């Protein structure tokens, strides 16, 4: 892969890790990348504009309200002239500004004005990183399509140990290569993904549902789109932003989800990550079910929901590759293998969703990829990384030219 001819706008935040940004510039320049830099006021406490300009060979921008700079290159043009914006180090303050849409200085204004991908390399004290506000902002940014690398674990300048160290320059360069010269391995392919829970109504205000957040399915849809696939995401009710370059179709019930999935076919690959309710109320009350003193609890009769994975696996429009998910609380691999055979799909991604695993609603996952060839046990990783790795496998399985 070659980065020659690419352009990066580097935003240097205020933290001790700012010194690594100088090495990052050097590594990028070695690969033929044009680097322009914005040095924040806090960043200038750690590195100088002269040092940055000496390495980039370009003017270093600092002031939002410099008339000269605005005449030469406004913040909008500065943010859009690059192929990628990289924030390194990405401080808690910069992440908060970006997550909330603030535009109070040149860095935050450029980030808000861009129409290009953004890569964050967070760096901060471990307690700041683990704080609920920072994790909330990270989740918001991830849902908005912002990519992050790190932070790494290790000893920090403050003497504490844990996650918070900025990723090393070579790691960031590798992430930049992946973003800018990623091969469109699934270009010309059509992908279908399901995500989230379903809601099966009891009456106009109550429903049966589950704890699925939809994060894994949304991440898979995003990764498929990044690989060039024409991707449709059929989603149950979730609180997530639509992935970039993905067609989002929203549904409520399992029956609706099946109908929409069938309407999307044919497709080359289908990934059924949704947690579809196995059962639905046999009938829905027209009015709210009332509780009155002395009344016995109502008897709710359940009907079996359609089996979307099995139905599509046996459909005349069956995709070349059908992948299901098995959310288990015990005997994860054995139950996943049995489900693959019973449903007729090609692969099963099995995971442990017991309460102590933290998978349901969490940002990490530990999965087992089960196929006729055997079982791959993947380590605990971010759901986005699970998605990228799964898409790599999909690309390899569909490597024949698209018809």
For the annotated catalytic residues, the residue numbers are 158
CA distance readout (Å), 256 to 17, 47, 49, 125, 200: 50, 56, 57, 46, 10
* Beta-bridge partner residues of 321: 269
Q: Which residues contact 22 (CB under 8 A, 6 or more apart)?
A: 47, 51, 52, 55
CA 308 to chain centre: 24
Phi/psi at 23 (nearest 5 deg)? Answer: -65, -35
Half-sphere exposure (Cβ direction) of 53: Cα atoms closer than 13 Å: 9
Indicate the angle between helix axes 132-143 and 92-100, nearest 10 degrees.
Answer: 50
∠ Cα 135 138 140 (to 5°): 115
Query: For residue 70, how many other CB atoms are within 10 A of its CB?
Result: 15
CA distance 179 to 80: 16
**DSSP structure class, residue 349:** E
Listed residue (191, 4, 189) closest to 83, CA to CA: 4
Phi/psi at 230 (nearest 5 deg)? Answer: -75, 100
Residues in the chain: 403
């Amino acid at each position: 892969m070659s980065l020659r001819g690419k352009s990066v706008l580097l935003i240097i935040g205020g933290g001790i890790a700012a010194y690594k940004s100088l090495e990052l510039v050097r590594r990028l320049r070695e690969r033929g990348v044009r680097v322009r830099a914005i040095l924040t006021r806090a960043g200038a406490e750690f590195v100088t504009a002269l040092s940055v300009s000496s390495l980039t060979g370009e003017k270093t921008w600092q002031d939002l309200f410099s008339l000269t700079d605005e005449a030469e290159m406004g913040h909008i043009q500065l943010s859009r002239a690059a192929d990628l914006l990289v924030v390194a180090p990405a401080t808690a303050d910069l992440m908060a500004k970006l997550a909330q849409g603030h535009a109070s200085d040149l860095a935050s204004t450029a980030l808000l004005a861009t129409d290009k991908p953004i890569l964050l390399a967070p760096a901060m004290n471990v307690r700041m990183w683990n704080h609920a506000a920072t994790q909330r902002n990270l989740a918001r940014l991830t849902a908005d399509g912002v990519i992050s690398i790190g932070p790494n674990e290790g000893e920090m300048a403050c003497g504490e140990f844990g996650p918070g160290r900025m990723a090393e320059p070579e790691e960031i360069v590798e992430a930049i290569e992946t973003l800018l010269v990623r091969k469109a391995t699934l270009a010309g392919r059509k992908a279908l993904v399901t995500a989230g829970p379903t809601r099966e109504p009891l009456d106009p205000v109550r429903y049966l549902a589950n704890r699925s957040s939809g994060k894994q399915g949304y991440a898979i849809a995003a990764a498929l789109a990044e690989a060039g696939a024409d991707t449709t995401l059929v989603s149950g009710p979730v609180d997530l932003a639509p992935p970039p370059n993905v067609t989002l179709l929203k549904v409520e019930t399992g029956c609706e989800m099946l109908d929409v999935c069938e309407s999307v076919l044919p497709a080359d690959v289908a990934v059924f990550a949704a947690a579809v309710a196995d059962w639905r109320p046999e009938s829905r009350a027209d009015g709210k079910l009332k509780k009155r003193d002395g009344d016995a609890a109502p008897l709710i009769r359940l009907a079996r929901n359609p089996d979307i994975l099995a139905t599509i696996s046996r459909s005349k429009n069956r995709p070349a590759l059908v992948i299901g998910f098995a959310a288990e609380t015990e005997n994860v691999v054995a139950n996943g293998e049995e489900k693959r055979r019973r449903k007729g799909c090609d692969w099963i991604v099995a995971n442990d969703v017991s309460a102590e695993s933290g998978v349901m609603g969490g940002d990490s996952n530990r999965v087992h990829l089960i196929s006729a060839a055997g079982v791959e046990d993947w380590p605990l990783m971010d759901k986005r990384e699970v998605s990228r790795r799964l898409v790599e496998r999909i690309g390899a399985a569909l490597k024949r030219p698209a018809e």
